[in-house]
Amino acid sequence: MLRFDSFIPADVQEGAPVWVLLHGRGSNKEDLQGLAPYLPAGSIVLTPEAPFAGEQWGYGPGWAWYQFQGRNRPEPESFAQSQQALGEFLAAVPSLLSVKPGPIILGGFSQGGVMSMAYALRNPGAIGHVVNFSGFLPDHPSVQPSPESVKGTRFFWGHGTADQMITHALAAEGRGILAGVGADLTAKDYRMGHQISGEEIGDLLAWLQGR
């Protein structure tokens, strides 16, 4: 079971939306808890920690979801192991809460965004809303975008035009593939690097409220 941090409102209600937010490479479970105050009132926020020590791959003292092999390629075995661990965590969400949860919004930053999109594509219809902050569409045998794999899922993909870690060109490529198979995709660009901005969070909330 993945370790995690949580934000649960004191007056949490049955059916509260659950945001499962995945951190980026070299970070930890505390990182995206900082987004909790900006999400809709009443939201539950769960932030699991990646299973691999980032230091072994030169990513610093934090944690990683997979070993990065360049461009948009995760190392296949570590990626598959993290996908399995994420699936087990999502299945356990109801048992982690004192109330019956509502819909899950799955998302993350950088590696976390990659993981989120991949999980939705590997498990068609399992997740209704996916948020990708500055990630890429992974080149992995188990991730095969198709009309069937995107059906029933809405995607939000925000990206910086000056991102030097995961280039905007790579984002445009992945967005094009998703759009080409008919994904319900909202793509937003920002004049920033590899980060999350306040403007991006505003667009995310507008997207979420749009349906």
Distance, in Å, from the CA atom of 23 to the CA atom of 16, rounded to the nearest integer, reads 22
pLDDT higher than 90, residue 148:
yes
pLDDT score of 211: 66
Q: What is the pTM of this model?
A: 0.98
Average pLDDT of the chain is: 97
Segment 130-156 mean pLDDT: 98
Using a pLDDT cut of 90, give the percent of the chain over it.
99
Q: Cite the beta strand spans of the chain per DSSP E.
A: 4-7, 18-22, 44-48, 52-53, 63-64, 104-109, 129-133, 154-160, 184-190
The region that residue 86 occupies, defined by phi over 0 for left and psi between -120 and 50 for alpha, beta otherwise, is: alpha
Question: At 135, which amino acid appears?
Answer: G
Apex 73 CA angle, 70 and 79, nearest 5: 125
What pLDDT band is residue 210 in, cutting at 50, 70 and 90?
confident
Summarize pLDDT for 79-132 with one digit per residue, the tens.
999 999 999 999 999 999 999 999 999 999 999 999 999 999 999 999 999 999
| Bridge partners for 5 per DSSP | 47
- The answer to whether residues 20 and 104 touch, using CB atoms and an 8 Å cutoff, is yes
Using a pLDDT cut of 70, give the percent of the chain over it.
100
As a 3-state breakdown, the chain gives helix, strand, coil percent values, each rounded to 5, of 35, 20, 45
Summarize pLDDT for 178-195 with one digit per residue, the tens.
999 999 999 999 999 999
pLDDT higher than 70, residue 169:
yes
Apex 121 CA angle, 154 and 6, nearest 5: 70
